[in-house]
Amino acid sequence: LHLISGDDWGGAPDIDHTNPKVQQELSDWMNWLKTEVGFVGWRFDMVVGYAPRFTKTYVEKTSPDFAVGELYRSVSLGSDGKPLANQDKHRETLVNWVNDAGGVFYDHYIEWGLMEPIKKLTEIRKRNGITATSSVNILAAENDLYMAKIDNKIIVKIGPKLDLGNLLPSNAEVATSGQDYAVWEIK
């Protein structure tokens, strides 16, 4: 008997991803595929069958150049059988999976050319232990400027305004910046 951490599907046996031996053996096999066969990335199939934290584990243990998870859920339908305009539940499922698997939204990362800025922002977030439950103190919320201090570790600025007045403490060092955004780490 083993634990199921996701949806059950009769078409294949369940794998106990909670078992450290299973995690290690799958990771070893995946690393073999990278080093000996030449794989550079992963396509995680039927990711609703196990918790997204395990996808994150396998990505962290194998460091692929690229990984994608197949997460398919039926959309909400109206009484006429057509998709409803409000698909928030479906969207929330996708957003939560991407977040819990440690991923980013494909379009922004690949198609919009934001790979390097997103990598930098992700590194800053990890380095400072910023999570979805971090405290946020909004410093400014204007039509051309939004600034917030997060966990008293970083300050984020969004918007074109450059005159920040006294919003930025002297112990803040620029960690990264780009068009209409900047992030400072508080030292």
Number of domains in the chain: 2
The answer to whether residue 119 is domain-embedded is: no
* End position of a domain, from candidates 52, 85, 103: 103
Q: Are 101 and 95 in contact (CB under 8 A)?
A: no
pLDDT digits (tens, 9 = 90+) for 7-42: 777 777 788 899 999 999 999 999 999 999 999 999
45 is annotated as an active-site residue: yes
The answer to whether residue 84 is domain-embedded is: yes
* Longest CA–CA separation in the chain, Å: 62
7 is annotated as an active-site residue: no
Q: How far is CA 152 from CA 138, 148, 177, in A?
A: 11, 10, 19
**Nearest-angstrom CA–CA distance, 23 and 111:** 32
pLDDT digits (tens, 9 = 90+) for 132-171: 789 999 999 999 999 999 999 999 999 999 999 899 999 9
Catalytic residue among 45, 65, 111, 173: 45
